Structure 1
Amino acid sequence: MSTPLRIAIAGASGRMGRMLVEAVLAAPDCQLAGALDVPGSPALGQDAGAFAGRDTGVPITSDLTAGLANAQVLIDFTRPEGTLAHAAACAAAGVKLVIGTTGFSEAQKAEIRGHAERTAILLAPNMSVGVNVVMRLLDQAARALSQGYDIEIIEAHHRHKVDAPSGTALAMGETVAAALGRDLKDCAVYGREGVTGERDPSTIGFATIRGGDIIGDHTVLFAGTGERIEISHKSSSRAGYAQGSLRAARFLATRASGLFDMGDVLGFKAA
């Protein structure tokens, strides 16, 4: 049997962090090697599996050096500032990094690209395999529906999400815009209020919903004359994000450096 892939989890006491811990513990080819959380977290010092009644022998720590000491890959779904600190530490330690964090500025993305020159990093706004298949479908749909169809992107998330539109919605917009030969920065409309005038057919509209415990729903609407085409993805659990993250971690295990995304993991670029 091959040696298990040693994985550390950032934000280990959060909703997504716990899902990732469970996924690693359930995967026979993976081993939990570290668990990180912010200084002051009440979970510090606890076993990373305590929430599930598991004794993993891995304490939650805010010490990056200790948390990464035994890890080959870190999976990070936290906040941009924390992720950037983790990326610098991973680059220095030679640890691979899977980033599911969203809300990065262009300058922060450039910083991540710099760290990817020293270690392998996968950055994706959504780790779900299903969402990334939808991205592929959107590229094809946008090319076929480039004339006579208005494009709107509707996304819904839980009340705790801090960025809007979601990183996944923006990635969908970028995919559609690129397929149409446009730049999303020039054609996106993020809000409408009052007398807006007729819709500019060259724009891509966004609508954001926040409420309850919605995990994540995304729909891209192509509205034509006499018909509508909707391509949707709805998440009922964070498990899909966790399983996609493990696929990403396995992919990075064979890479020394470089910046990748889920298209690389799923073989879309090779195809």
Structure 2
Amino acid sequence: MIYSSMECKIFLFGASGKMGSCFGALVSQTPPFSLTSDPARADAFVDFSVASALEDHLALALRHKQPLVIGTTGHAEGLLERLQTASFEIPLFLSYNFSLGAALFIETLSRFKRHFPKNTKIAIEECHHLSKRDAPSGTALKLAQALDFPPEKIRSERKEEIVGIHEVRLTSGGESILFRHEAASREVFAQGALSALRFILKKTPGLYTMEDLIHAKS
């Protein structure tokens, strides 16, 4: 589907969850978008449910030949290969964190990495609310990948009412640099997911990420 100013109906998986309800409220207040309970009428699908249901939700999007935005985390091994295969048929957008700031955070550290002294010590910490199921978070794993850092050394913490905090500390030669990203509310992720939805509605089949989105904005 090529996005236009006409009405765009979204079928939302996980609409009753914390993130799903936040995104649903935003969609309902943002014309020309609206929610539909009928997948046959959907112009796009958005998944904020649970990772274990993604295979079924992907199959539904493929059946209706409509784009799918994926916001679940903690996926099983082999999922990326499955998504890459499906992306030959429909546009897919996969993100573990829809915050544009978090995407820029990872991008900045990835580019900054080549300037690290060889003896630089890296520490990655993340903290989220108690109901977050996966640890480390998907964002922390992306940071570890960008910095060639062992994922098993990520420090994870769960506290009440913490939306999301990620910190990277670089220590070398008696000095340290602290990089920190904190999301103050789920609305940050909802806005980012809506930006991802707008982005993918203009795309041909393929697998897209926040990196594609921020590069398109630059």
TM-score (norm. length: structure 1): 0.75
Residue identity opposite 1:113 in structure 2: Q
Shift of 1:86: 0.3
Residue identity opposite 1:211 in structure 2: K
In 2 relative to 1, CA 245–189 (structure 1 residues): closer, same or farther, beyond 3 Å? closer
Task: Check whether the contact 1:218–1:233 (CA below 8 A) recurs between aligned residues.
Answer: yes
Partner of 2:178: 230
Aligned counterparts, 1:135-150, within 5 A: 135-150=106-121
Aligned counterparts, 1:44-193, within 5 A: 66=38, 68-177=39-148, 188=150, 190=152
1:117 counterpart SS class: coil
Separation (CA, whole Å) in 2 of partners of 1:217 and 1:172: 13
Task: Check whether the contact 1:91–1:116 (CA below 8 A) recurs between aligned residues.
Answer: no
| From 247, 254, 257, the counterpart of 2:195 | 247
Separation (CA, whole Å) in 2 of partners of 1:144 and 1:29: 45
Separation (CA, whole Å) in 2 of partners of 1:262 and 1:227: 32
TM-superposition CA deviations, 1:15-61 (whole Å, max 9, x none): 11110111101212322223xxxxxxxxxxxxxxxxxxxxxxxxxxx
Separation (CA, whole Å) in 2 of partners of 1:88 and 1:189: 31
Shift of 1:163: 0.9
Instruction: Give the alignment's Cα RMSD to 1 decimal.
Output: 1.7
TM-superposition CA deviations, 1:145-166 (whole Å, max 9, x none): 1522111110001111111100
Which one has more relative contact order, counting CA pairs under 8 Å at least 6 apart? 2
How many residue pairs get aligned? The number is: 215
In 2 relative to 1, CA 173–259 (structure 1 residues): closer, same or farther, beyond 3 Å? same
TM-superposition CA deviations, 1:214-233 (whole Å, max 9, x none): 11100111111221111111
Residue identity opposite 1:30 in structure 2: F
Partner of 1:262: 210
Residue identity opposite 1:136 in structure 2: E
1:92 counterpart SS class: helix
The runs of 5 or more residues in structure 2 that have no matched partner are: none
| From 17, 21, 44, the counterpart of 2:20 | 17
Task: Check whether the contact 1:5–1:250 (CA below 8 A) recurs between aligned residues.
Answer: no
| Percent identity between the two aligned chains | 31
Per residue, is there more helix in 1 or in 2?
Answer: 2
Separation (CA, whole Å) in 1 of partners of 2:208 and 2:117: 28
Separation (CA, whole Å) in 1 of partners of 2:198 and 2:151: 37
Separation (CA, whole Å) in 2 of partners of 1:208 and 1:170: 11
TM-superposition CA deviations, 1:147-202 (whole Å, max 9, x none): 2211111000111111110001001111122xxxxxxxxx5152xxxxxxxxxxxx
The runs of 5 or more residues in structure 1 that have no matched partner are: 35-65, 178-186, 191-204
TM-superposition CA deviations, 1:90-131 (whole Å, max 9, x none): 012111011111111331221122221211000111111110
Separation (CA, whole Å) in 1 of partners of 2:96 and 2:169: 20
Shift of 1:8: 1.8
Separation (CA, whole Å) in 2 of partners of 1:72 and 1:266: 24
Q: Which has the larger radius of gyration?
A: 1
Separation (CA, whole Å) in 2 of partners of 1:231 and 1:71: 40
Residue identity opposite 2:13 in structure 1: A
Residue identity opposite 1:163 in structure 2: D
Aligned counterparts, 1:192-203, within 5 A: none
2:167 counterpart SS class: strand
